[in-house]
Amino acid sequence: MLNKDVKIINVGIADIQGGQSPSMIRTTLGSCIGVVFYSPEKKVGAMAHIMLAKDPSGKDSSKNPHKYAETALPELVKRMAELGCNKGDYFARLFGGASMFKGMNSSFLQNIGDLNVSVAKEFLDKEKITLLVEDVGGHEGRTISLYLDDGRILLKKGGFEKYLYKVR
Amino acid sequence: MKEKIDQLFENEAQLPKISSVVSKVMEMVGKPDVVIADLAKEISKDPGLTAAVIKLSNSAYFRPAKPVKTVQESLMTLGIKTVQEIVLLNETKGILKKELKGYQVDGESNWLHSLIVAELAKRIAVQKKLKVDKDVVFTAGLLHNIGKVILAEFFPAVLMQFRTELQTYQGPYTDLEAKFFGYTHQEAGAKLLAKWNFPEELIEVARYYTEPEKATQFPELVSIIHIANCIVILGGMGIDIGGLKIPLSSKALQNVGVTEGDLQMYYTLLPEMAKHIEELISV
């Protein structure tokens, strides 16, 4: 149950939010990906809601860095630093990246999810941030809620809900 | 189940209602010889509605040329169709902001979904220079999935079965709705709008927005809403337990002349559009 004192922080599309215990950070994802960083020691975390792997025009990412994985993920690392966490203090979890409607004849829309996931993984690899849990792909949308008191995530997808407790 | 929903439609007390002032406004706007002063008088019968019209007319979203102080000024500055849009927006907010229990969509998300589909649909109509009335496009977008609100009321009883079957179900999502509820949310939405005596365009959009190939009277309008809905769902706004199971229709893309590049642009524009409608969301 959600305690009344728990502040809910909503992460919009192309948005990054961070917070500390006892808040809860929440977002809903289709093809977008949600990258979650959480430090179990400090009980702080941050979440990015990313739309696309790269900026197709090359002109938009300087104005809207949170839309694209290549610019949003360094920002997410920065947000954790602002919350007092160095690399190594926190671990990553990855959600979303559903693939587009069946029988789609748009290669752009069809591949958004997969591309998002692979670019995020490359980044985590390169930055040596451990990826603990992932629930990606498929045709389902997902709502994820990160509870900063213990780092658990409530995942809602395709008619079911479950808690994911692995935080380190 | 079907009987229960039939009963619901016969026994109007439980159905979402719209006020008599709003029905009258809709009827008046539908006539070619509507007089602004008469319309202003009708809207002014409802103080809450009057306040909302003036407040929204002055919002950044509608950007009036000069500040609006009365309903009459609002009608003259923004035009009859835009004021009708505002009236409907204000009236349906309470209905569309309801949590879609069982669909796993909260009220705020459904409201954002409805508004952003309306906004994107309007953008598509303008960008593609289509000969559809852009205010009708907005309203059609706003009301496209109103039937979900009705079915959501019936979810708790059959929820567990429905969800269990959904996890392994491969067919069209709406077939499953029909199996469990006797109606799809599209049919329920169309029935509700018909009950409200709303124009045919809006009824056809609610009925066929997920299968635009079947639209016979207003295929272009239905296609626009279909495409807008798919893109907004893809962005995760108002995405329900059906996930991404509604296929994007290539016929709809053809009807409207939307290209691969357009789809990419519409998708990328979603955050800016969400910002644009922020004021409408907070009303």
Strands lying side by side in the sheet with A160-164:
A8-10, A24-29, A142-147, A153-157, A160-164
Query: B224 is in which domain, residue-wise?
Result: 1-282
Average the pLDDT over A85-94 and give the result.
Answer: 96
pLDDT-derived band at B2, boundaries 50, 70, 90: confident
Half-sphere exposure of B175 (CA within 13 A, CB side): 8
User: What pLDDT is attached to residue A47?
Assistant: 98
B163/A13 touch (CB, cutoff 8 Å), yes or no: no
- Strand (E) or helix (H) holding A135: strand A131-136
Evaluate if residue A101 carries a pLDDT over 70: no
User: What pLDDT is attached to residue A1?
Assistant: 52
Q: By C-alpha distance, which of A60, A152, A133, A52 is closest to A97?
A: A52
User: What pLDDT is attached to residue A100?
Assistant: 63
Average the pLDDT over A86-98 and give the result.
Answer: 96
Q: By C-alpha distance, which of A95, A91, A94 is closest to A168?
A: A91
Q: Which residue has the tokens 């993984």?
A: A121
A13/B234 touch (CB, cutoff 8 Å), yes or no: no
Assigned CATH for A8-161: 3.30.1330.200
pLDDT in tens, B47-103: 999 999 999 999 989 988 889 999 999 999 999 999 999 999 999 999 999 988 878
Q: Per mean pLDDT, which of A61-65, A97-101, B221-225 is the most reliable?
A: B221-225
> Chain A residue closest to B258 (CA)?
A106
Evaluate if residue B23 carries a pLDDT over 60: yes
User: What pLDDT is attached to residue A147?
Assistant: 97
Query: Could you tell me how many residues make up chain B?
Result: 283
DSSP 8-state secondary structure symbol assigned to residue B111 = H
Neighbours of B71 (CB within 10 A): 23
User: What pLDDT is attached to residue A158?
Assistant: 80
pLDDT-derived band at A35, boundaries 50, 70, 90: very high
Nearest to B239 among A107, A141, A159 (CB): A141
User: What is the number of domains present in chain B?
Assistant: 1
A31/B234 touch (CB, cutoff 8 Å), yes or no: yes
- Pick B179 or B36 by higher pLDDT: B36
CB B196 within 8 A of CB B18: yes
Average the pLDDT over A125-138 and give the result.
Answer: 96
How far, in Å, CA of B44 to CA of B59, rounded?
19
User: What pLDDT is attached to residue B114?
Assistant: 96
Instruction: List the domain boundaries for chain A.
Output: 8-161
Average the pLDDT over A32-36 and give the result.
Answer: 97
pLDDT-derived band at A21, boundaries 50, 70, 90: very high
Evaluate if residue B122 carries a pLDDT over 80: yes
Paired tokens of B44: 């002014």
pLDDT in tens, B214-258: 999 999 999 999 999 999 999 999 888 877 777 889 999 999 999
Main-chain dihedrals φ then ψ at residue A86, nearest 5 degrees: -90, 165
Paired tokens of B192: 């509700």
A29 touching B (Cβ < 8 Å): yes
Using an 8 Å CB-CB cutoff, list chain B residues near A8: none
Average the pLDDT over B111-119 and give the result.
Answer: 96
User: What pLDDT is attached to residue A104?
Assistant: 59
Q: Which residue has the tokens 């040329």?
A: B65
How far, in Å, CA of B162 to CA of B160, rounded?
5
Q: pTM (2 decimals)?
A: 0.92
User: What pLDDT is attached to residue B55?
Assistant: 94
Paired tokens of B55: 């407040």
User: What pLDDT is attached to residue B116?
Assistant: 97
Using an 8 Å CB-CB cutoff, list chain A residues near B268: 51-52, 56, 60, 67
Nearest to B263 among A15, A32, A109 (CB): A109
- Give the CATH number of the domain where residue B1 resides: 1.10.3210.10
User: What pLDDT is attached to residue B269?
Assistant: 94
DSSP 8-state secondary structure symbol assigned to residue B13 = G
pLDDT in tens, B145-167: 999 988 887 766 777 788 888 87
pLDDT-derived band at B13, boundaries 50, 70, 90: confident
Average the pLDDT over B12-41 and give the result.
Answer: 90
- Three-state DSSP state, A91: strand
Evaluate if residue A3 carries a pLDDT over 70: no
Going by DSSP bridges, is the β-strand pair A15-20/A44-50 parallel, antiparallel, or unpaired?
Answer: antiparallel
